[in-house]
Every structure is written in structure tokens, then in C-alpha cells.
A = this chain, B = another copy of it.
Amino acid sequence: MSPNPHVAIVGATGAVGAEMIQTLERRRFPAGRLTLLASARSAGKSLKFRGEPHPVQELKPDSFRGIDIALFSAGGGISREFAPRAAADGCVVVDNSSAFRMDDRVPLVVPEINAADIAAHAGIIANPNCTTAITLMALYPLHRAFGVRRIFASSYQAVSGTGARAIEELRRQVAQIVAGQPVTREVYPHQIAFNVLPHVDSFLPTGYTKEEMKMQNEGRKIMHHPSFRASVTCVRVPVYRAHSIAVSAEFDKPVSLDAARAALQGAPGLAIVDCPEKSEYPMPLFVAEKYDCEIGRLRLDCALDNGLCFWVAGDQLLKGAALNAVQIAEELLRLPR
């Protein structure tokens, strides 16, 4: 890998794409060149990177010739179609979709947890589900200390996880309600303003959604923990940005609050915000646009014998998507040539 790689962003005009451009810039990623790719509909637009306008080009099968690293965030269909072609052209793909996450040949990586898995890539590396990544940022340090057996979790997911059109839908519905107008829907099956929807992603025959099962499936792969169990309810809430997750976690070893805090204290990418008597705890409004995830409301779980209950929040466009992808790209630069 060149020390100044030619980077492409696929889905550059989407909510995550915009964050990818900004994150590359803010973290001073040493890209030699940046190519922005999107559907024909968005081609011709121009986006700024390091103060310079960059044209958005139409994504085509031969778009990846000469590209070193491609960050994909344009949905599973685009990834399935174009990521293998990009890899065949010698480009390393960091894919934000769910298309390849459970593929045995594809590392699924949260760099703070399993950066070492990246070395085994064969051209594609997967970025995990946003809710899973944020939860694991808090859970993994506790797992290392106590050995997690299973978790029970409920999410509070922001509309930006669905994309730019969902942000617009919440904004429009709120304006309609304030103006006393009828509420219109385009993205979600029900009004999201002043409502919550226990429905993220599509339903499986078991009654869980795909999103809900990602916690267990992706968590097992990322933590190298094949017996990890996770029962999750994923819920969309009328918040613009950042996901929150309430977790009860059962461990193999006895837990204590002091040992738990010690385990969390030095964890990279995680801040402890836990002073409830001063009303200090993580909240989506205040974790939005931050790189670090935040854990708080830490307590011994009253319904588990070796359990901890906690609350974690993180910006799902950053740690749940763009930041994690850029961190993987940074790790790629550190691989021996």
C-alpha cells in the first residue's frame, strides 16, 4: 500500500459519505488523491475536500483502476456488485454495508477490538453494523475483564441511521405538526415525529429483525466469541443523530463496579460519562459529532448474579460508520508491505 494512497468514496453524496470525506480530512488521512463516486443521479455534483472542489463521478465497473482504498457506503446491492470488481482491480474495499460482514473470507473489524484481523483480508474488509459497533465499544473492555456470556439490549436509534431522506422526513413531519398540517410519510411505515417504531431493518421468521440479530452474529465474529448470545430490540426514535443502547450483560466471572470502571477507564475510543447525581450520563444530543462513544449509568445488574447494567451512546455516522471505516483505512497503512 502506498503511504499516500488514492482513496475512493462510493456513495459520496449520502449521509455517511459526507462524514467519510470530513473524517478523512479531520484525521489528516494521508490520501494522495480522493475520488468521489456515486450513482448517475448524483454525478456532476461537486464536494469539497481539503478546501478543493472534487467532482462526483458516476460509479462504473472500471472506476477502481488505480484506486488503492475504496470506502463503500451505498447500500448492500452496490457493494455486492462493485466491491468484488474493485478488489479484483487491486483496490482494498472497506465496506459499510452488511453484504460481506458474515463472509468467512472478509474480516469484520472494530479497530479498537480486532484490528489484527485486518491483515488476513483478501481485498474486502467489512465495517460492522452501527448499533453493534457502538455497543461493543462499551462491552468489549468488560468482556476482556469478566468474559461476557450474553446480553439483553434495547436500542434508541436516530433517523440519520436510515439516511439523509429520513432526516428530512423527521424535519418535515415536525414542521407539519407545528404548522397544524397533515403529516406525510415517505421513508418510514409510520410517523416518526413524537413516536417510536420498534422496527429497524426487515423481519426474520423468528420475529427478530435483521438489525437485532446483527448484535449476536457480528458480535461473535468481532469478539472471536462464538457462544456470545444477544437478545435485542431495535427501536427508531425521533432523534436526528447518535444511537443509544441500554444493556444488561451477564459475565462468567464475578463483577464489581470498581473492576468494571478500571476495565473501562483506559479503553480506547470510549469515554465514561457517569455522574448521575449531577444528571451526567450519555445522551445522543451531546455525543453527536464526537468520535468517542460514551458509557454511563453503570450499575450491578439486579436481575443477574454476575451482571452489569449500562447505557452507551455513540455517533452512528462516525463510530458506527465513517470513523470506523477511516480507522480501518489507517490500519491498512500500518500493515507491512
Contact A303 B207 (CB under 8 A): no
| Neighbouring B residues of A99 by C-beta, 8 Å | none
- In the assembly, what is the distance between CA of A284 and CA of B197, in Å? 9
Tell me which of A61-69, A119-127, A304-312, A314-322 binds B: A304-312
- In the assembly, what is the distance between CA of A178 and CA of B181, in Å? 15
Contact B304 A231 (CB under 8 A): yes
The residue from B178, B239, B244, B296 contacting A194, defined by CB atoms under 8 A apart = B239
- In the assembly, what is the distance between CA of A235 and CA of B235, in Å? 13
Question: Within the complex, what minimum Cβ distance (angstroms) separates A151 from chain B?
Answer: 7
Chain A: how many interface residues by the 8 Å CB criterion? Answer: 58
Within 8 A of B (CB), among A57-92: none
| Neighbouring B residues of A301 by C-beta, 8 Å | 231
Known: A207-B300, A208-B299, A231-B302. A279 touches B248 (CB 8 A): no
Contact B303 A244 (CB under 8 A): no
The residue from B152, B196, B207, B281 contacting A283, defined by CB atoms under 8 A apart = B196
Question: Within the complex, what minimum Cβ distance (angstroms) separates A237 from chain B?
Answer: 6
A39 at the interface (CB under 8 A from B): no
| Neighbouring B residues of A311 by C-beta, 8 Å | 198, 233
A216 at the interface (CB under 8 A from B): yes
Contact A283 B150 (CB under 8 A): no
Contact A244 B196 (CB under 8 A): yes
Which of A194, A277, A309 lies at the interface centre, i.e. has the most chain B CB atoms within 10 A of its CB? Answer: A194
A49 at the interface (CB under 8 A from B): no
The residue from B199, B206, B286, B309 contacting A299, defined by CB atoms under 8 A apart = B206
| Neighbouring B residues of A180 by C-beta, 8 Å | none
Contact A285 B194 (CB under 8 A): yes
The residue from B198, B238, B302 contacting A244, defined by CB atoms under 8 A apart = B198
Question: Within the complex, what minimum Cβ distance (angstroms) separates A132 from chain B?
Answer: 15
Known: A233-B309, A309-B231. A299 touches B207 (CB 8 A): yes
Contact A195 B239 (CB under 8 A): yes
Within 8 A of B (CB), among A118-161: 150-154, 156
Contact B302 A151 (CB under 8 A): no
Enumerate 22 A-B pairs (CB-CB under 8 Å) in ascending A order. Answer: A156-B237, A174-B174, A174-B178, A190-B286, A194-B238, A194-B285, A195-B284, A195-B285, A196-B237, A198-B244, A207-B276, A207-B298, A207-B299, A207-B300, A208-B302, A216-B302, A216-B303, A231-B248, A231-B301, A231-B307, A231-B309, A235-B246
Q: Nearest 7 A-B pairs (CB), nearest first?
A: A207-B299, A154-B154, A152-B152, A231-B303, A233-B246, A189-B279, A195-B285
